[in-house]
Amino acid sequence: MGLNIVVCVKNTPSTLSVEVDSSTGQVKTEGLLFAINPLDEYAVEEAVRIKERVPGSTVTVLTLGSEADQAVLREALSRGCDSAVLLTGPELLGGDTYATSQALAAAIRKLSGQKPVHLALFGKNTNDGNSGVVAGQTAAWLDWPCVISVKKIESIDESAALVWRMMEDGIDKIKLQLPAAIGTIKEINEPRLPSLRGKMAAKKAAITKWTAADLGFKPESKARIARSSPPPHRPAGQRLEGGTPEELARRLVDALLERKLLS
């Protein structure tokens, strides 16, 4: 029968040079280039690799956003995903991770009604909000087990998966009963580039669009971003020049001691 996999992705700024409007405290999005969230690329690649090694498997790519965010779905389709779903509409846009995970869980539940979903894959975090909690929150709404920071899926079938979870002091091997959610890290694989055939097929592919009404629920945010601000500029560093290497080393140690960076 194979596995039915859902991979959740996000369209995020493709540059770190993001400006904030000083008068409104909101991020300036006009003219900003967007692309698939970098860590989501590894989740997409892992979903496609599982499909390739487990016969009969399918991959659906899922995102929440505006009409413009269809681009990230087509990118995932060009890399080997089979179908795509866009969650959109004013009720779904602009929510926090609580509301976002609600919507993703509702969509996965709807997809499961059509064909049982075995696995939901996520990137570890996004490069905009950087919360790293959406995989766990979505799993909680679904009442599924969840493991994040996964660097390897050693084996998987329709009932269970054996995964390697990266920890600060080593690696945990965990057996997960499916259905489950997994958050991947970049060590898990090397994302492929889309083929020309894949790009052409993705360009023509139909994308399913669901609103909050289609999902049968009203999202509720628990937090609101009142104001954003860029990180403070770093002060210029201090250069130690002149003298022998021994003298420079002593001056460096004295400077570190003065700043209480050494004890």
Report how far apart, in Å, the C-alpha atoms of 46 and of each of 28, 63, 119, 122 are: 33, 17, 11, 10
pTM here is: 0.85
**Per-residue pLDDT reduced to its tens digit, 34-55:** 889 999 999 999 999 999 999 9
**Per-residue pLDDT reduced to its tens digit, 221-241:** 887 777 777 777 777 788 888
More confident residue, 238 or 109: 109
Alpha-carbon span 192 to 184, nearest angstrom: 16
Alpha-carbon span 113 to 9, nearest angstrom: 21
Q: What was the pLDDT predicted at 66?
A: 92
- The first and second tokens of residue 256, run together, are 């570190």
Asked if residue 117 lies in contact with residue 6, where contact means CB atoms within 8 angstroms, the answer is: yes
**Per-residue pLDDT reduced to its tens digit, 144-186:** 999 999 999 999 999 999 999 999 899 999 999 999 999 999 9
First vs last Cα of the chain: how many Å apart? 63
Which one of 3.30.450.40, 3.40.50.620, 1.20.1260.10, 3.30.70.1150 gives the CATH number of domain 4-215?
Answer: 3.40.50.620
pLDDT at 17 exceeding the cut of 70: no
Domain boundary assignment for the chain: 4-215
pLDDT at 261 exceeding the cut of 90: no
pLDDT at 32 exceeding the cut of 90: no
